[in-house]
Amino acid sequence: MRPLAARFRLWTLIRAGALLSLVLVMSGCLVPPTPETKEAQDTFGLYLLVFVMGAIVFVGVEAWIVYSVIRYRRRDDRLPTQLHGNTFIELIWTAIPTVIVLVLFVVSTMTLGAIDQPSKDPAVTIEVTGFQWQWTFRYLDHDNNPNNDYTVTGTTAQPPVMGLPVGQPIHLILHSADVIHSFFVPHFLIKRDVIPFPAGQSPNTLNFTITNAGTYGGQCAEFCGDLHARMTFSVLAMAPDAFQQWLANAKAGRPPPPTGSAPPGATVVDLSAQNIAFSTSQIEVPAGKPFVIRFNNKDSVGHNVAIFDASGKVVYRGEIFSGPKTVDYQVPALQPGTYHFQCDVHSTVMVGTLVAT
Amino acid sequence: MATTTLAPRAETYRRSWILEWLTTVDHKKIGVMYIVNSFFFFFAAGILALVMRSELAVPGLQFLDERTYNQAFTMHGTIMIFLFVVPVLAGFANYIVPLQLGAPDMAFPRINALSFWLLPVGGLLILSGYLFGGAAAEGWTGYTPLSSAYAPGVGTDLWLIGLILVGTASILGSINFIATIFKMRAPGMTLFRMPIFVWTMLVTMTLILLATPVLTAGLIALFIDRNYGGSFFEPAAGGNPILWQHIFWFFGHPEVYIVILPAMGVVSEVLPVFSRKPLFGYRAFVFATIAIGLLSFSVWAHHMFTTGVVFLPFFSFMTALIAVPTGVKMFNWVATLFRGSISLTTPMLFALGFVSMFLIGGISGVMLAEPPIDFHLQDTYFIVAHLHYVFFGGSVMGVFAATYYWFPKMSGRRLNEGLGKIHFWLMFIGFNLAFFPMHMLGIQGMPRRIADYSPDAGWTLLNIISTVGAFMIAISILPLLVNVVATFINGERVGDDPWEGNTLEWATSSPPPPYNFDKLPPIRSERPVFDIRHKHDREHLTDEARLPAEAGES
């Protein structure tokens, strides 16, 4: 009997070990994306707490089932003790989930209070309109003149980009032009439904403060008809001064920089970006002639190249794109002089000097 | 001709078997028709699932356009819920509940036949949209105003009419079951001697009776909005689209328990039989079932956390609270295994599959009950994973446990155990391959109900795994089909009580005669058949069950 029992214990150990390692491997994939807003960091913490508690319950119960099935397998015809219940044990195991649930409720309600707080003085207010099947982002300013607002409307072929400053409270007002949509950015760990309320009911809002610069994909999360899957957009988070520049450019209606093959005979400057750094901080180009920056983005995050003159005015801004991909930026002719260039997404670390001679 | 002259009188009452089945009011025949009909819809909706998984395996649209994809998931959800899981469990209940009560039939046999026959009619109406310009494509939840002003096709109207019929069938059936359970119990069967399956059906049917009329009323209101200029849900005319969500989920959340409680009942019959022990904490289990039933009406808005218009703490608290009675049941099941004498038969494997997989659905449910976490996970693939761990890992495992467990009662033959185990393991592994990765996809932010996704999103590998799992589930059905056919042709005849069951259905022949029982055993506990089998090992019997032996009764 003894070796048999030992074998069963070994088996139990092996199975429990296999289960545990499987759980560990899988839990790597069971953690949300890096939180990129203040609010998302709170949610992330709550998620980890609940996930760990759930994992403990899971491992405990599954291990108990596997153990019972092995240990109490039918070996003979003897009838086991007919145990109908035990009030004390049943009270205990009613109390355990009750306590767990109460703890979770308190913690989650506290988190909810922290993440659902509207800012009294948002730095940027955007009116988001969801429609079948894209988005319009309208940047509200304080001059009460709608003609002055920057508005971008996406198409399924060209989803819109929502430029936003890092470290400043953002306030979104969510309108729907037709059916219910939902504004969802996975890296912000939040979504909010975009609902066509009847007249008199105020629209939903969403408030957050982004902590890190970068490009974050988003898309509609509430099924809204045929092209629901094509309602994508992206959030481009950048340093506040870069954001102001971006918005000013956008308002001025500067057309998106042309891309395409380089004109024959033009100077081509190679520049690449990897691990949030440019390959060089020094570029020399001929003055008075258009040239091409062949920009190779090796990162999966978005980068671009923007060129500023000595007074800080933008003279060229390339579109932001995620790699790995190479794009030729067609830069217009520059006056002789020294210029500053940067990636708008990472304007603190990805900088350099461009000299036109 | 010769037979006519030999037995002229018999011929007057003889009907062809087709006519017999079409006009029967026998609860057992109706139960079998429920089950067979449900499995046809199961296969149809399963094929739609394979179509969807094929499309989603890799980025890009390979087989379908968006509209067709949207129709596929709408039909898949609607049919699986309304025409497979609910009716198949109602079918088993139709067959088994009167037997477990020691009753000759349901309380209203003709209404019973009507509630069955409304189902294929309703189901075919829902599917018939494909013949009339396209089936409904708004999701099984049919959110307004997408399903009202923005879905001009007749498919959505057919979907509404079909669902109204199916809802009516459910309401009729629920009244029938409640009347049967309260009025048709055999002498000696007090409420607390009823089998657990009957208890879960009683609570289920009460939920159907209270919740389904709300949905049916909502469906009619939506039909009026669509066709007769109504504006219940039309924001432009002052209606509120969120009202539909309240109506739908006021039905929809009890519906989750309508689907899971009968499966819990099946599992609570199967685990004790194959552990050779009574269910641990019978009364606690009954009270937990009732508590789940009551709480299920106070949690509907947890499907609406991201709408921004519901009071989050209340619904969050009530939702989390449901984990308590559910946890009690989980403990009852695992305590039933403790110090048992466990045989791993096919029904037992499916019951254990239920307990271990439903656990995952329960845990992810508690996670989703926290609004901040729900804000991230709502409407992503995490929800799809969660609901399949509840509906498939839970209810469907229960359906197959019931199939293998009660097949000998219905046919007198046992399904082949070897093929049954192949079916179980293929399905169990395929299920986890198909649905576990969906948790990860959802956490990474893949929304549900999308026909396509970007190759840059990093979701491709997990989607491929999921598709492989889905096909594995489909393959696991093959041994079941072979098994059923082979068993009918040449199955092992196993007598009336092959599993050593506890409850009254095992006290009659297999299959039972038209009026079920020639003779009923005394009912002194919730396990009358166990009490007879062990009347001589008196230390195993409860005090009440021991009494008749002392009085010299046999």
Exposure on the CB side of residue B182, measured as CA atoms within 13 A: 9
Residues B433-472 pLDDT 10s? 999 999 999 999 999 999 999 998 889 999 999 999 999 9
The mean-pLDDT minimum among A221-225, A238-242, B3-7, B262-266 falls in B3-7
Q: Which one has a higher pLDDT value, A185 or A8?
A: A185
Residue B22 in this model has a pLDDT that exceeds 80: yes
Cis peptide before A246 (omega within 30 of 0): no
Looking up residue A151, the CATH number of its domain turns out to be 2.60.40.420
**C-beta atoms of A223 and B138 within 8 A:** yes
Q: How close A48 comes to chain B (CA, Å)?
A: 10
Interatomic CA distance for residues B226 and B208, integer angstroms = 26
Interatomic CA distance for residues B269 and B30, integer angstroms = 22
Average pLDDT over residues A69-82: 91
- The pLDDT, as a whole number, for residue A19 is 74
Residue A263 in this model has a pLDDT that exceeds 70: no
Q: Residue B16: CB partners within 8 Å, gap ≥ 6?
A: none
- The answer to whether residue B70 neighbours chain A at the CB level (below 8 Å) is yes
Residue A266 in this model has a pLDDT that exceeds 80: no
Exposure pattern of A97-114 as b/e (b: 16+ CB <10 Å)?
bbebbeebbebbbebbeb
Exposure on the CB side of residue A131, measured as CA atoms within 13 A: 12
Average pLDDT over residues B6-15: 51
- The pLDDT, as a whole number, for residue B4 is 41
Exposure pattern of B229-259 as b/e (b: 16+ CB <10 Å)?
ebbbbbbeeebbbbebbbbbbbbbbbbbbbb
Between the ranges A52-61, A339-348, B61-70, B395-404, where is the mean pLDDT highest? Answer: B395-404
Choose the closest CB to A43 out of B238, B326, B376: B376
Distances (CA, A) of B50 to B21, B72, B136, B475: 33, 10, 19, 11
Q: Which one has a higher pLDDT value, B103 or A304?
A: B103
Best CA proximity match to B74, nearest among B35, B116, B117, B129: B129
Interatomic CA distance for residues A37 and A288, integer angstroms = 44
Q: Are B202 and B536 in contact (CB under 8 A)?
A: no
SS3 for A219-238 is EECCCCCCCHHHCEEEEEEE
Average pLDDT over residues B50-64: 94
Entry pTM: 0.85
- The pLDDT, as a whole number, for residue B360 is 96
Residues B523-538 pLDDT 10s? 999 999 999 998 888 7
- The answer to whether residue B239 neighbours chain A at the CB level (below 8 Å) is yes
Choose the closest CB to B445 out of A94, A186, A228: A186
Interatomic CA distance for residues A68 and B341, integer angstroms = 10
User: Do A111 and A128 fall within a single domain?
Assistant: no
Share of chain B above pLDDT 90, in %: 87
- The pLDDT, as a whole number, for residue A327 is 81
Q: Which residues does residue A268 pair with via DSSP β-bridges, in sequence order? A: A292
Q: Residue B244: CB partners within 8 Å, gap ≥ 6?
A: B142, B143, B144, B147, B218, B222, B232, B233
Q: Are B415 and B487 in contact (CB under 8 A)?
A: yes
The one-letter code for the residue type at B51 is V
User: pLDDT band at A28, cuts 50/70/90?
Assistant: low
Structure tokens at B344: 């791993």
Domain B36-520 has CATH 1.20.210.10: yes
The mean-pLDDT minimum among A115-119, B343-347, B544-548 falls in B544-548
Q: Residue A311: CB partners within 8 Å, gap ≥ 6?
A: none
User: Do A244 and A298 fall within a single domain?
Assistant: no
Q: Are B259 and B361 in contact (CB under 8 A)?
A: no
Query: Is A192 a domain residue?
Result: yes
Residue A23 in this model has a pLDDT that exceeds 60: yes
- The pLDDT, as a whole number, for residue B10 is 43
Q: What angle do CA B392, B377, B62 make, to 5 degrees?
A: 70
Structure tokens at A26: 């899988």
Query: Is A185 a domain residue?
Result: yes
- From the number of C-beta atoms within 10 Å of its C-beta (0-12, 13-18, 19+), residue B10 rates as exposed
Interatomic CA distance for residues B164 and B226, integer angstroms = 15
Q: Which residues does residue A297 pair with via DSSP β-bridges, in sequence order? A: A273, A325
Domain locations along chain B: 36-520
Exposure on the CB side of residue B382, measured as CA atoms within 13 A: 26
- The answer to whether residue A46 neighbours chain B at the CB level (below 8 Å) is yes
- The pLDDT, as a whole number, for residue A156 is 84
Interatomic CA distance for residues B378 and A222, integer angstroms = 9
Structure tokens at A247: 């918005």
User: Do A12 and A110 fall within a single domain?
Assistant: yes
Q: What angle do CA B180, B182, B188 make, to 5 degrees?
A: 105
- The pLDDT, as a whole number, for residue B537 is 81
Best probe of the A interface among B341, B357, B533, by most A CBs < 10 A, is: B341
Best probe of the A interface among B147, B324, B433, by most A CBs < 10 A, is: B324
Best CA proximity match to B213, nearest among B180, B181, B172: B172
Query: Is A260 a domain residue?
Result: no
- Helix/strand/coil for B182: helix
Share of chain B above pLDDT 70, in %: 96
Among the candidates A251, A276, A301, a domain finishes at A251
Q: Which one has a higher pLDDT value, A144 or A164?
A: A164
Residue A308 in this model has a pLDDT that exceeds 90: no
Mean pLDDT (chain A) is 86
- The pLDDT, as a whole number, for residue A309 is 85
The domain tally of chain A equals: 3
The mean-pLDDT minimum among A200-209, A286-295, B4-13, B437-446 falls in B4-13
Choose the closest CB to A229 out of B356, B373, B452: B452
Per the structure, the complete domain to which residue A140 belongs is given by 124-251
The mean-pLDDT minimum among A223-237, A243-257, B210-224, B336-350 falls in A243-257
- The answer to whether residue A157 neighbours chain B at the CB level (below 8 Å) is no
Q: Name the residue of chain A whose CA is nearest to B283's CA.
A: A85
- The answer to whether residue A42 neighbours chain B at the CB level (below 8 Å) is yes
Pairing relationship of beta strands A161-165 and A232-238 according to DSSP bridges? parallel
Interatomic CA distance for residues A255 and A253, integer angstroms = 6
- Helix/strand/coil for A204: strand
Residues B352-411 pLDDT 10s? 999 999 999 999 999 999 999 999 999 999 999 999 999 999 999 999 999 999 999 999
Q: Which residues does residue A238 pair with via DSSP β-bridges, in sequence order? A: A165
The one-letter code for the residue type at B222 is L
**C-beta atoms of A232 and B440 within 8 A:** no
Residue B300 in this model has a pLDDT that exceeds 80: yes
- The answer to whether residue B455 neighbours chain A at the CB level (below 8 Å) is no
Kindly tell me the number of DSSP H helices and DSSP E strands found in chain A: 4, 20
Choose the closest CB to A65 out of B307, B323, B337: B337
Handedness of CA B492, B496, B499, B504 (dihedral sign): positive
Kindly tell me the number of DSSP H helices and DSSP E strands found in chain B: 21, 2
Mean pLDDT (chain B) is 93
Contact list in A for residue B442 (CB cut-off 8 A) is none
Residue A108 in this model has a pLDDT that exceeds 90: yes
Residue A5 in this model has a pLDDT that exceeds 80: no
Residue B554 in this model has a pLDDT that exceeds 60: no
Query: Is A258 a domain residue?
Result: no
Interatomic CA distance for residues A298 and B415, integer angstroms = 59
Residue B430 in this model has a pLDDT that exceeds 90: yes
Average pLDDT over residues B109-120: 96
Share of chain A above pLDDT 90, in %: 46
Distances (CA, A) of A48 to A32, A39, A41, A246: 9, 15, 11, 36
Q: How close A283 comes to chain B (CA, Å)?
A: 31
Interatomic CA distance for residues B508 and B518, integer angstroms = 8
User: Do A226 and A334 fall within a single domain?
Assistant: no
User: Do A298 and A238 fall within a single domain?
Assistant: no
Interatomic CA distance for residues B288 and B390, integer angstroms = 18
**C-beta atoms of B241 and A83 within 8 A:** no
Q: Which one has a higher pLDDT value, A116 or B323?
A: B323
- The pLDDT, as a whole number, for residue A302 is 81
- The pLDDT, as a whole number, for residue A110 is 93
Query: Is A262 a domain residue?
Result: no
- The pLDDT, as a whole number, for residue B401 is 97
Residues B301-332 pLDDT 10s? 999 999 999 999 999 999 999 999 999 999 99
Residue A256 in this model has a pLDDT that exceeds 50: no
Interatomic CA distance for residues B364 and B341, integer angstroms = 32
- The answer to whether residue A178 neighbours chain B at the CB level (below 8 Å) is yes
- The answer to whether residue A51 neighbours chain B at the CB level (below 8 Å) is yes
